[in-house]
Structure 1
Amino acid sequence: MTTSNVVDKKRITKKDFVTVYWRSMCHEATFSYERMQSVGFIWTLAPILKRFYGDDEEELKKACIRHTTFFNVTVQIVTFIYGVALALEEKNVNDPEEDLNNLITTAKTALMGPMSAIGDTFYWGTFKIIATGVGCSLCIQGNPLGVLAFILLYNIPNWGIRWYILKLGYRLGENFVESLSTGGVIERLTQAAYIIGLMVCGAMTSSYVSVKTPLVFSVGGSEVIIQEIFDSIYIGILPLCTVLLFAWLMRKKNVKPMPLMISALVICMILGLLGIIG
């Protein structure tokens, strides 16, 4: 690889950050079950890699190969790993005597698990649920702004945090997750997000899942209202049991959400026609 003097060292510029930021929006536009998001990763970094290694075809090939290996992470938080990759590629192109090919691949692989745990917890387990709750509440009241509220509440954290963690990943490099793991920060953040997510799930279950029975039996000349018996045990016990049943089917029996929703719709229609639920 052609070496450069100190003056001619290749650096990551603000334009590079902007390029990676916008290209990362298409990170999961293409997907394969063999290498998951690898094509999106190499496409996002392509302009920077061409600028860094464009004068050395062999090094450019190596860079492309190391960034087309298996890769999969929560897309909303992927820019942190892009930042780390940019820092390592910058070091690699300016220090040809130190081969960082394996280190770059290893750093990406090591970061996938921890960053996905954080991303899934916050985005799918917290932001998405909160945004859905607010949006559904407005829509139920007939307010068309519910859709807009959902889109903004979910995406504003996504757009802002993407840019911040891209720069953060570049500044901190590959030692970030190791330092957090040592201090137990990841575990505390993940646990806190799980608690918030579960609280929101519980509130949404109570507010939006409605399962009641109109069944009434006559015993000894008096009416026995089944719903009142359930309410005396625990108010909202039928919606709670329904949600727990669905969760059990998805987690333990690997039932997919779409077949489960269709089955639930058909069963509820049948039970409603029979007068068992209402």
Structure 2
Amino acid sequence: MNNVKTTERLTRKERSLIWRRFYNSYGVAGGYDVLSAPNFVWGLEPLFEKYYDNDKKCEELLKHYEFFNTENIFGSLIYGIVTAMEEQKALGNNIDDEMIRSTKLSLMGPMAGIGDALNPGLIIPLLLSIAITLSNGGSLLGVVFYAVAYNAVVITISKLLFENGYRLGMDAISTLIGEKATRIKDSLMLLGTVIMGGISANYISINLGVRVPSGNDLVSLQSILDGVFPKLLPLLLVLGCWQLMSRKNISVVKMIFILMIGVFVLALCGILG
């Protein structure tokens, strides 16, 4: 037991408060290095207030002040799961911080992909098509319909996903102990690594301007590297940034400035095309 103030489970009212904080505070505060981490801290504050004293509450909240970014509506599933896991940890179950962190960070990519596809790709166009039809002749009914219907739909989806995530977190507690916990943790970390690898390969582009002699011609060094190992340079860049940030404790903001200066200098020297 963690010397908690109470051993009572979260009530429906308390869970509703936590969900409302998550839903209403998304995107209100943040930065490029943490994005919506303040949203996570604000959402979980009532939970930690219930179970811990002030010092312990601050300690637990700070653990969630790290980079987090997902689609807010469908990402409510993550909020529910993490809420259940934090509750069970406070009540003395064998749930460690790394399991919670791995679950949260590994799910944010998939849930963002689902949410970014369904919200602007299905919900918004469907409701807008109905609203446009209702607006024929200059009627304001379409505007009112869209404003009411969209909020009703996304709020309902968000609340249901939060509650289902909370129940999933509760039902999964028995599988998150012992060897199963290690396997799940490793799987989630692998999933996160694969997702980040895919993002790096698709969104990081490095084009060398260097040409090397090949017979009587000059051949692009970039084409040679792509023929031997496609996307090698983006891979090396990501690994290099990770090494600097993990081993040298360089912050995200400093890393951004290092990359900006590096790109400028290499482009000026003609190394980057």
Q: Name the TM-score class by shorter chain.
A: 0.5 to 0.7
Residues 166-199 of structure 1: per-residue CA shift (max 9 Å, x gap): 11001112969x99xxxxxxxxxxxxxxxxxxxx
Residues 79 and 67 of structure 1: is their aligned pair in 2 closer, same or farther, counting only changes over 3 Å? same
1:46 CA drift (Å) = 0.8
What displacement does 1:85 show?
A: 1.1
Structure 1 gaps, min length 5? 180-278
In structure 1, which of residues 125, 135, 160 is the aligned counterpart of residue 121 of structure 2?
Answer: 125
Question: 1:83-162 counterparts in 2 under 5 A?
Answer: 83-95=80-92, 98=94, 100-162=96-158
Amino acid at match of 1:41: F
- Give the superposition deviation at 1:135: 1.8
Partner of 1:75, secondary structure, is: coil
Q: Deviations for 1:95-116, whole angstroms, at most 9, x for unmatched residues?
A: 27x4511111111101101111
Cα drift, residue 2 of structure 1: 4.2
Contact conserved, 2:2 with 2:92, CA < 8 A, in 1?
A: no
* Matching residue of 1:79: 76
CA contact (8 A) 1:71 1:109 kept: yes
- Would you say the 8 A contact 2:85–2:95 is kept in 1? no
Relative to the length of structure 1, the TM-score reads 0.56
Deviations 1:36-90 (A, max 9, x none): 11111111111111212226x2x32331122111111111123211111111111
**Aligned-partner Cα distance in 1 for 2:31–2:167:** 31
Matched, 1:36 2:35: yes
Given that 1:80 and 1:168 are in contact with CA atoms closer than 8 Å, whether structure 2 keeps it comes out as: yes
Pair member with larger Rg:
1
TM-score by length of 2: 0.57
After superposition, the Cα gap between the structure-2 partners of 1:144 and 1:80, relative to the gap in structure 1 and judged at 3 Å, is same
For the residues of structure 1 that align with 2:61 and 2:14, how far apart are their CA atoms? 17
Query: What do the CA deviations read for 1:152-179 (whole angstroms, capped 9, x no partner)?
Result: 2322211111221111001112969x99
Partner of 1:218: none
Aligned pair count reads 174
Deviation at residue 10 of structure 1 after TM alignment = 3.6
**CA separation in 2, counterparts of 1:161 and 1:152?**
14
- Does the Cα contact within 8 Å between 1:10 and 1:90 map onto a contact in 2? no
Corresponding residue for residue 263 of structure 1: none
Q: How far apart in 2 are the matches of 1:62 and 1:77? A: 28
1:3 aligns with 2:3: yes
Q: Secondary structure at the match of 2:73?
A: helix
- 1:123 deviates by 0.9
CA distance in 1, matches of 2:159, 2:92: 27
CA RMSD of aligned residues (A): 2.8
- Is 1:16 aligned to 2:28, yes or no? no
In the other structure, the counterpart of 1:173 is: 169
Query: Structure 1 52/4 Cα, relative in aligned 2: closer, same or farther at 3 Å?
Result: closer
Post-superposition, which runs of at least 4 consecutive aligned residues in structure 1 deviate over 6 A?
A: none
Query: % of aligned pairs identical?
Result: 26
